[in-house]
């Protein structure tokens, strides 16, 4: 911060020196931002190359060579920038205008060099993203699949133990559980048991699937017939409930078509038909379940009931999307400022947090919130014409709120690290 004493000392110098000092300080801030951007880009791209190498070392060889060259340029540019900072002490307020001007030129040149390397890093990252897209998508699936597999095995073990404790014959689910355990043990070994990434993904899914089947069989053993009959009664009732939503959905869809722009409802235009088709499929599954139940095929009957429930869940969700969309659009058309005010509250709340912690967190958070505030002010501009695109407006406001909440989470994380929490 610039103190009152500094202001008085500069005030005793000529105007040219004051102006030159201000320009040099601005250049120093610009170069600091450029250095931060380059450092972040270098860390990000380096991490991506490391990940690429872990997933496919042979394919990543050329990327490693290119990254090594970029690291050399980045390190050299960073060293040059630091040398400029060391050579030009802008905290010395008694220098001449010419010295400040020289500092400004040197700092602007350093900022340009840093920005150039950042652009190279970003370009490399973009090229790398195309090459890694498939591998990365697959890798992101592995941790949740492994967790799902372990959870499924634990649930199956508990279900089988309960069945045995009740004196029931759990041979079938025990056999499936043993198969799931063997595969999970292999997945837990070093190097994914030699399965490779794609093989590990398939094996984890197999463990989950087999363990789920074992758990379901164990849970079905006691009073399975009664459960299926009760489930059939419940699913028949649910069919009628969802069918009762058809007329309101059709009416809501008509209101959307008449009252709102195409962009507000285009993704829902086939929703009534989708709900009808889902109901038809659910009724087919129920008929199958009833036929299995008549023949005493309780396991197959339960599966058909489960399929019917899935169809009904999807149909009900689609129906609610239409009626909820109409309700949201009507509310926004009646008071367009209300959702904007809700978003403004979230942004201001984030700004208060950032201002209060400005000495301990990265300056990028304030810049992010400034950008969000600008987007918030510009959002009403979307509401033009006789049929404004209220849906785009609501989506933009929701995006702003989400981004502001992300900033809050990041700031709190930085503060926790800063305070050792």
Region 378-385: what's the mean pLDDT? 89
Give me the helices (H) in 189-223, please. 196-220
Read off the pLDDT of residues 97-117 as tens digits, 9 standing for 90 and up.
888 888 788 888 888 888 999
pTM over 0.75: no
Q: Give the per-residue pLDDT at 51.
A: 74
Q: Report DSSP letters for 21-86, one per residue.
A: HHHHHHHHHHHHHHHHHHHHHHHHHHHHHHHHHHH-TTTTHHHHHHHHHHHHHHHHHHHHHHHHHH
Rounded to whole angstroms, the Cα distance separating 308 from 234 reads 11
The tokens describing 340, both together, are 């904007």
Q: Is 245 exposed, middle or buried (0-12, 13-18, 19+ CB in 10 A)?
A: buried
Q: What is the mean pLDDT of residues 262-267?
A: 92
* Apex 404 CA angle, 399 and 408, nearest 5: 145
393 pLDDT more than 80: yes
Per-residue confidence at 187, pLDDT binned at 50, 70, 90? confident
- State the Cα–Cα distance between residues 384 and 378, nearest whole angstrom: 12
Alpha-carbon distance of 247 to 254, in angstroms, equals: 11
Q: Is the distance from CB of 343 to CB of 395 less than 8 angstroms?
A: no
| Residue 274: both structure tokens together | 């989708």
Q: Mean per-residue pLDDT for 150-159?
A: 94
- As a whole number, the mean pLDDT across the chain is 86
Q: What percent of the chain has pLDDT over 90?
A: 49
CB 31 within 8 A of CB 118: no
Q: What is the structure's pLDDT at 107?
A: 82
Mean pLDDT for 349-357 is 89
342, pLDDT greater than 80: yes
């Amino acid at each position: 911060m610039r103190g009152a004493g500094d202001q008085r000392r500069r005030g005793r110098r000529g105007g040219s020196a004051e102006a030159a000092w201000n320009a040099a300080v601005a250049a120093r801030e610009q170069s600091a931002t450029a250095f931060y951007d380059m450092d972040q880009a270098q860390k990000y791209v380096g991490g991506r190359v490391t990940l690429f190498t872990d997933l496919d070392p042979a394919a990543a060889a050329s990327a490693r060579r290119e990254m090594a060259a970029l690291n050399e340029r980045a390190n050299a540019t960073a060293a040059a920038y630091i040398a400029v900072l060391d050579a030009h002490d802008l905290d010395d307020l008694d220098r001449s205008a010419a010295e400040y001007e020289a500092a400004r030129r040197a700092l602007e040149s350093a900022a340009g060099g840093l920005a150039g390397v950042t652009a190279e890093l970003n370009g490399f990252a973009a090229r790398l993203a195309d090459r890694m897209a498939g591998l990365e998508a697959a890798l992101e699936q592995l941790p949740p699949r492994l967790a799902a597999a372990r959870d499924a095995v634990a649930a199956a073990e508990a279900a089988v133990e309960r069945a045995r404790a009740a004196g029931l014959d759990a041979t079938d689910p025990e056999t499936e559980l043993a198969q799931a355990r063997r595969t999970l043990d292999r997945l837990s070994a070093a190097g994914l048991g030699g399965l490779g990434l794609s093989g590990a993904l398939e094996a984890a899914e197999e463990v989950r699937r087999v363990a789920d089947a074992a758990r379901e069989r164990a849970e079905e053993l006691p009073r399975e017939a009664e459960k299926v009959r009760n489930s059939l009664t419940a699913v028949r009732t649910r069919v009628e409930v969802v069918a009762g939503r058809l007329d309101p959905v059709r009416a809501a869809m008509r209101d959307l078509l008449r009252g709102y722009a195409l962009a507000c409802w285009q993704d829902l235009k086939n929703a009534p038909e989708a709900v009808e088709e889902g109901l038809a499929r659910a009724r087919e599954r129920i008929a199958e379940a009833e036929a299995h139940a008549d023949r005493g095929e309780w396991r197959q009957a339960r599966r058909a009931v489960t399929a019917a429930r899935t169809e009904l869940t999807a149909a009900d969700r689609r129906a609610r999307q239409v009626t909820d969309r109409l309700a949201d659009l009507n509310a926004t058309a009646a008071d367009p400022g209300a959702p904007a005010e809700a978003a403004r509250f979230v942004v201001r709340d984030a700004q208060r947090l950032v201002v209060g912690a400005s000495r301990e967190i990265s300056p990028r958070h304030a810049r992010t919130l400034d950008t969000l505030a600008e987007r918030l002010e510009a959002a009403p501009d979307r509401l033009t014409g006789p049929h404004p695109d209220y849906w785009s407006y609501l989506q933009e406001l929701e995006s702003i709120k989400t981004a502001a909440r992300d900033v809050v989470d990041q700031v709190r994380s930085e503060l926790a690290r800063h305070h050792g929490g």
